A = this chain, B = another copy of it.
Amino acid sequence: MTKRDFLSAGDLGRDELENLLELAQRSRGKRTSQVLAGKTLGLIFFDRSLRTRVSFEVAAVQLGGHVINIFADREMYDLEPEEQTVMDGRAEEHVKDAARTLSRYCDALGIRQLSRTGSWEKDRQELLLRSYARYATVPVVNLESSVEHPCQAIADAMTMQAHLTRLPGRRLSVVWTNNPEPKNIGPCHSLLRVAGMLGMSITLCHPLGFEPAQDVVTAATRDAQANGGSLRIVNSLDDGVRDAEVVYARSWGSPKYWEDAERESIVKRSLQSWIVDESAMAKTRNALFMHPLPVRRGVGASDGVLDGPRSVIYDQAENRIHAQKALLTHLLG
């Protein structure tokens, strides 16, 4: 039996994704099972987390399993990810040895690392995550990398499906919003991949300069077209939300500005109209409002929208539990 990792939304085929979504819907309401009885997940965080960390622990516990959270920067040793080096620098341990050791202790590993070295070419390689996956002998799950946040995207798809029933052809607008800080782009990338596989009619809407990674857009476009959907790009918020059935808001830092955060910050000063508020929502077809959180109220979206009757942001958050129960059952059950 070969181990299965879950590093990218693209690791799933379309059928597999749909099976996972069905399993996730079924796991709602069922609080306990014993699929993970006697099993331990090791979740390693190099960055802060609220939803991912708590929802994974609750998911595992509801399946009868156990979680060990490791906050790597304070609790573990510095790790070397490069192969065949002489380790006479800062790193006291090689990823190979940490991954193989943890594979003897845990039945699956999760890794959150949002590198921001200043080089997109480097960060897009997800060096630490891929290194863990290469060496671990148990499944490795991406708890959010610089490139993807695939667990979020499954919960997003599950949330859309619960409200819209059938997703192929439905009009999803993925809308960039402003933020004083450069935010990670993983949730956007993984959502594009999943929505593409589900054949949605995607409008990707962002100011010039805030393009997601080209390879992700290409793959999502290809998948959308293969499944009866489409992906178009617009650079005006008004155009982006018009006639949408789902508005998915989120800020992200573009690979284009990855090496120049200061420039990005200056550019964003003129982009304060990129907020999803009541007037934006009025242009939609009574769209659902989604956001993966955290959100800066009054900056990324207005209180009226976030707290309004079409907002499903807490359902989205809750669905992390159900989606991850399905994923863990899929990988380990």
Contacts and interface: CB of A to CB of B under 8 A. Distances in A.
A227 interface: no
A61 interface: yes
A106 B55 CA distance: 9
A66 B56 CA distance: 13
A261 interface: no
Interface in A20-40: 31-32, 37-38, 40
Contacts of A306: 97
A62 interface: yes
Interface string A63-101: 000101011001111001000111110011110111011
Contacts of A74: 48, 71, 74
Given A48-B77, A54-B102, A105-B54, A93 B295 contact: yes
B49 A321 contact: no
- Most B CB contacts (10 A, CB to CB) among A74, A75, A299 go to A75
Contacts of A298: 84-88
A3 interface: no
Contacts of A101: 50-51, 293, 314, 317
A293 B75 contact: no
A50 B68 contact: no
A84 B297 CA distance: 8
A51 B104 CA distance: 10
A116 to B, nearest CB: 15
Interface string A309-333: 0000110011001000000000000
26 contacts: A42-B54, A48-B74, A50-B70, A50-B75, A50-B76, A50-B101, A51-B101, A54-B68, A54-B70, A54-B102, A54-B106, A57-B66, A57-B68, A58-B106, A71-B74, A77-B294, A85-B297, A86-B299, A87-B298, A87-B299, A88-B180, A93-B294, A93-B295, A96-B297, A97-B293, A97-B297
Copies of this chain held together in the complex: 3
B80 A71 contact: no
- Most B CB contacts (10 A, CB to CB) among A45, A54, A321 go to A54
Contacts of A66: 57, 61
A53 interface: yes
A314 B49 CA distance: 30
A93 B299 contact: no
A37 B64 CA distance: 11
Given A50-B70, A50-B76, 20 more contacts: A38-B62, A48-B74, A50-B77, A50-B93, A50-B98, A50-B102, A51-B101, A84-B303, A85-B298, A86-B297, A88-B180, A91-B296, A93-B293, A97-B295, A97-B297, A101-B314, A101-B317, A104-B314, A104-B318, A105-B317
Interface string A273-314: 000000000000000000001111111000100100000011
